[in-house]
Amino acid sequence: MELYQKTAAELSKMLRNKECSAVEVTKSVFDRIRQKEDTVGAYVTLTEDKALEKAGEVDQKLAAGEELSPLAGIPVGVKDNICTQGILTSCASKMLYNFVPPYNATAYDKLLKQDMVITGKCNMDEFAMGSSTETSYFKKTANPHDPSRVPGGSSGGSAAAVSAGEAIVALGSDTGGSIRQPAGFCGIVGLKPTYGSVSRYGLVAFASSLDQIGPMGKSVADTAMLYTAICGRDPMDATSAAREYPDFYQNLNSNVKGLTIGIPKEYFGEGIEPEVKQMVMDAVKLLEQNGATVKEISLPSTGYALNAYYIIASAEASSNLARYDGVKYGYRTSEYTSLEDMYLKTRSEGFGDEVKRRIMLGTFVLSSGYYDAYYKRAKLLQKQIAAEFAAAFEGCDVIATPTTPYSAFKLGENIDDPLKMYAGDICTVTVNIAGLPAMSLPCGMDSKGMPVGMQLIGPKFSEQTLFDAAFGYESLVGGFTTSAVEK
């Protein structure tokens, strides 16, 4: 087995037992990148020199017997909407094609403090708007299981990198499913944390009330390790929660006895492929056979969630993206006759079609005369959806659903039909609307040979319960073998 195929937990032990060095791990990952990147295209920017330098430092510290974080020396990919000082942070947009941040996002800074090795910046849908990584200005990313299919999005580069072995773990961001859906499509684990548990400082804003940075890995343990590293109160983010967090990795417990799993019938209805339903239900059954209790529940407003999500997310996006005006930083059109002409041309040329669609939709729903009809009603629905989840959690510990209605679709299949693309987010958007944590974990391969994801949703700050339930399932199936590290 090559080093790039291993999990962070395995490599961490090997580094301490001197079975390999951090430089060897990093070299293995970059050799794999050279082998795969032409077909997968997971990265916008690679940082090999910095990575090797950092790995060398870790080896020196280990040799000196320094006490290091379990993540020290582990190669990590970072989504390109997370600010990295001195490294291009483009959000996969022409608008930020030259933006090299003078500061670090808190989540990234925490990885540096843990002595992690940054492989580079991962491709994504432009400004995190999309579900296929096809709206990137730079390139499309392919699914490492089948390059004719999408890796999902918007954190498609992060998911593809981890699945292919082009990174050991990665950071993504999730506004309406962008960690969970690509994790599901690529056969890996991804967590969208409770809103407020990971600092958004330095995360380029899409929809500020929904955005969260989160971890992606090949195993539950890796995801728990990375989450433990990035969560926590940050005075730089006013929405960050003031609380203490345990070490989720050290606390992992695979016993599912006594766990009550709710199955919301609305997530298993029309539009969800029968094979996907079956695979998720089989996974739930396995948990039941090992001591979990399963009960049917109802979340009646699920059918309105997509409408509410696309209104709220677009409204916030239209406001957040107003800052890209060609004046302060980023792209500026080359020829213009007046200030207004400069704004107009800069924004027309700098943003792609999907981003423009969201800005127009968001501006429309916030405009006087339409605000009450759309935005206000979406906010009321948001309350309703959150209340229905809260009521459901009085009777169960976690809720299990498919992550997506279907496995990875073909490149080009949905890109010209935005509504069809949006419809695929039906299972994930409710979680962001309600501010809850949820993770996607692999529950096998379908008849197309593509991975299928199961989503586990919990009450706010129940990450340990989610990790434990997922770890229980992973242990029962004898570990996940759905990534593409062996392809």
How many whole angstroms separate alpha carbon 212 and alpha carbon 53?
30
Q: How far is the CB of 423 from ligand GLN (least distance, A)?
A: 10
How many whole angstroms separate alpha carbon 112 and alpha carbon 114?
5
Count of positions on this chain that bind ligand GLN (CB under 6 A)? 13
Q: Which of 70, 73, 101, 130 binds ligand GLN (CB under 6 A)?
A: 130
Site string for ligand GLN, 183-212 (x = CB under 6 A): -----------------------x------
Q: Which of 10, 80, 146, 174 binds ligand GLN (CB under 6 A)?
A: 174
When asked if residue 131 is in the footprint of ligand GLN (CB under 6 A), the reply is yes
Q: Which of 84, 123, 143, 154 binds ligand GLN (CB under 6 A)?
A: 154
Instruction: Kindly state the helix (H) or strand (E) to which residue 313 belongs, with its residue range.
Output: helix 305-320
Q: CB nearer to ligand GLN: give 204 or 443.
A: 204
Pairing of strands 189-192, 398-402: unpaired
Q: CB nearer to ligand GLN: give 47 or 135.
A: 135
When asked if residue 266 is in the footprint of ligand GLN (CB under 6 A), the reply is no
Task: Write out the two tokens for 199.
Answer: 């600092």
Q: Which of 141, 178, 197, 318 binds ligand GLN (CB under 6 A)?
A: 178
Q: CB nearer to ligand GLN: give 128 or 365.
A: 128
Nearest residue to ligand GLN, by Cβ distance, number only: 178
When asked if residue 81 is in the footprint of ligand GLN (CB under 6 A), the reply is no
Cβ proximity of 119 and 77 under 8 Å: yes
Amino acid at the residue 9: A
Residues 6 or more apart from 380 whose CB is under 8 A from it? Answer: none
Q: How far is the CB of 101 from ligand GLN (least distance, A)?
A: 19
CA distances 141 to 112, 167, 441, Å, are: 26, 15, 21
How many whole angstroms separate alpha carbon 56 and alpha carbon 250?
27
Site string for ligand GLN, 110-129 (x = CB under 6 A): ------------------xx
Q: CB nearer to ligand GLN: give 259 or 313.
A: 313
Contacts to ligand GLN from residues 413-442, by CB under 6 A: 425
Q: CB nearer to ligand GLN: give 129 or 261.
A: 129
Q: How far is the CB of 361 from ligand GLN (least distance, A)?
A: 11
Contacts to ligand GLN from residues 290-349, by CB under 6 A: 313
Cβ proximity of 181 and 151 under 8 Å: no
Q: CB nearer to ligand GLN: give 146 or 425.
A: 425
Catalytic (active-site) positions: 79, 154, 178
Cβ proximity of 121 and 44 under 8 Å: yes
The DSSP symbol for 40 reads H
Task: Write out the two tokens for 149.
Answer: 């299919």
Cβ proximity of 386 and 312 under 8 Å: no
Q: Which of 26, 119, 133, 175 binds ligand GLN (CB under 6 A)?
A: 175
Cβ proximity of 454 and 444 under 8 Å: no
CA distances 22 to 32, 58, 416, Å, are: 15, 7, 44
Q: CB nearer to ligand GLN: give 177 or 444.
A: 177
Q: How far is the CB of 184 from ligand GLN (least distance, A)?
A: 13
DSSP for 399-448, please give it. Answer: EEEESSSSSPPBTTSSTT-HHHHHHTTTTTHHHHHHT--EEEEEEEE-TT
Q: Which spans of this chain sit near ligand GLN (rule: CB under 6 A)?
A: 128-131, 154, 174-178, 206, 313, 425
